Amino acid sequence: MSGSTLKNLRMLEKLTGSEFKKVILTTTMWDEVDEETGERREAELKSVYWKSMIRRGSSTRRFTLTRNSALEIIAPLIEGNGERFALLLQKEVLDMGRKLPQTTAAAGLELEYVALAKQHQMHLANIQAALKQPISNEELQRRIEEYYNISKLLNLVQEKGTIKTPPTSPTSWKTRFQWPWRFA
């Protein structure tokens, strides 16, 4: 399981709190692997990555690209006897009166941002050292873009401990930096 997928699962846990009864963990791609391999991977998901969620009430299903398997997945949600519950995020914001940056989910994001900032600081130092070496104009332009994106992310993380969404597009830097070294 990739790092980003694992992070998403952890974030799901922070959003839902202990209410996992309505979370249906679904495996896919059964048409791309043999049954034995699929079952081995599914067992690993259940025993390692999904273990804590299953323990708290999540169920698991297989999606096999058929209408019936899709209906089996959503049936428990539809037939839930009208049972409703609030997610942890909803409880924190609505019942406890917390602002979004004060929630468990935001705290989890902030920890990830801090770890990411440390990782990027090391990467930034490597880029700075590499920029001192003779390189082509194209490589220099690529490194400037990379340096700018990492710097921007670090600035977001360091701003008074508040969480902000990182930039989604690296294109805005082009309006400020142009080769050869014209700064707007």
More confident residue, 4 or 169: 4
* Residue 127 and residue 148 in contact, taking contact as beta carbons nearer than 8 Å: no
Spatial neighbors of 7 by CB under 8 A, at least 6 apart, are 112
Q: How many CA atoms lie within 13 A of 114 on its CB side?
A: 9
pLDDT tens-place string over residues 67-86: 999 999 988 877 766 666 77
Quickly count helices (H) and strands (E) in the chain.
7, 4
Task: Supply 105's token pair.
Answer: 């989910």
Across residues 111-126, what is the average pLDDT? 79
Q: Which residue has the tokens 């309505």?
A: 22
pLDDT of residue 53: 84
Q: What is the pLDDT of residue 132?
A: 79
Please tell me which residue, 131 or 102, carries the higher pLDDT value: 102
Is 7's pLDDT higher than 50? yes
pLDDT at 60: 94
Domain ranges of the chain: 3-92, 99-183
